[in-house]
Structures are given as C-alpha cells and as structure tokens.
Amino acid sequence: MDGKPYIAQRPKRADGRRNYDAILAAARKAFETSGADASLEDIASQAGVAIGTLYRHFPTRASLVEAATRDGLENLVAHAQRLAAGPDPLDALTEWMREAVVHFSTFRGLVGILTRSMYDEGTPSHAMCAAMHRSGADLLHAAQAAGRVRPDLTPEELFDLLSGAAWVREQAASGRDSSPRFLQLVLEGITTRED
C-alpha cells in the first residue's frame, strides 16, 4: 500500500550536488540551534537556494533530518562493531550507550524522530535505526552472555532506557547535562550485582 520512504540521494549534476551540500550544511546548523522543527524556508535561504530547490532534494522534513544525521549514526553502528571485538562486554555496552545518547540528542526533537523510526518502516530513518537496533542488541546479548547484565532485559527495553537518557539530555539544552548521571543510574540498575 504505502511505497517505500524517500531517501535523499546526492545528485549527479554538479550544480545539484553543490546545492544539496549547502542545504545539508544549513540544515545541520539550523537543527542544532532551533531543533528539528526549524524553518525550512530559513534553511533554504541560508543555503542561498530557493525553497523549491530544498523540496526537490528533500521532499519531506523527515528526509532532510535523515540525511543530516546519516553520517553520525553510521559511525555509531561502525563503532559498535569495533567495540564488540573488545575484551569486556559490559564496558563495550556502556561505552556504546554513552555514545548513542550523544548522537540521539544531537538536536532538540531528534530522539522522538529516531524512536518513532525504530519501529515504523514508513520512515526515512528506519533503515539506519534498525541497523542501530541490531548493533545495540548484539552488545546487550554479549554482556548478558557474560553474566554482566540482568538476563531478562530485552533490547527494546534497553532502547527505552537509552532514549530516556537522550531525551533528558535534549531538554537540558542550555543547562548542564544530566544525562551522564541518568545513564549511570540506569546502568548500575541493570547490571548484575556481585559485590
């Protein structure tokens, strides 16, 4: 019924690529200062481009957000695989969660978009989110297999906790960041106790 979500692609023509890049740069800046609902017309004019051009490359706001966050999330997935090769599965998991929280809260409104994308296939960010889900689940299972994390914790629950931390971080835009402590409390809560 519903076609696949549109995923923005860097155009082949030189002028197209130039504008595509300029829009993406302007969008990243605008999202960081004004959140995910920044004005698209501002972004276009900041990129020195007409509004129609923005819509040509990014027909929906979601497709623009996806393109603006793609690289960061790709790195996150790659880092998960590197961490999985390390010696301590719990360290790997905690380190990854710390990093994930930062990427999830790059700008106000992103956590909500990503958590919605995680289970909604009709969304541009879904593919990337699903990849992250797998990465996180792998790290979790390894930590559980090593007996370091309570075995009844599901990946979905882990992402709930992670999203909560990221959301808290998002809110504290102009204050100090309380997400490290949030994550610490959560992690101490889900690890197995053996002292």
Partner DNA sequence: CCATCAAGCTGAGGCTACCTCAGGATAATT
Partner DNA sequence: AATTATCCTGAGGTAGCCTCAGCTTGATGG
Single-letter residue type at 15:
D
Q: Residue 160 touches which of its own copies, DNA, none (CB < 5 to 8 A by kind)?
A: its own copies
Contact status: 13 vs DNA (CB under 7 A): yes
- Give me the amino acid identity at 77: V
Of 68, 24, 63, nearest to 47 (Cα)?
24
Q: Out of 4, 6, 42, 173, point to the residue binding DNA (CB under 7 A).
A: 42
Site for DNA in 48-67 (CB under 7 A): 49-53, 55-57, 59-61
How crowded is the C-beta side of 191, counted as CA atoms within 13 Å?
15
- Cα gap 105→152, rounded to integer Å: 27
Q: Confirm or reject binding of residue 33 to DNA (CB under 7 A).
A: no
> Per-residue x/- mask for its own copies, residues 147 to 176, rule CB under 8 A?
------x--xx--xx-xxx-xx--x---x-
Instruction: Return the H-helix or E-strand segment holding 54.
Output: helix 51-57
Q: Is 103 left (phi over 0), alpha (psi -120 to 50) or beta?
A: alpha
Q: Please count the residues of this chain forming the interface with DNA, following the rule CB under 7 A.
A: 25
- By CB under 8 A, name the binding residues for its own copies: 112, 115-116, 119, 153, 156-157, 160-161, 163-165, 167-168, 171, 175, 178, 181-182, 185-186, 188-190, 193
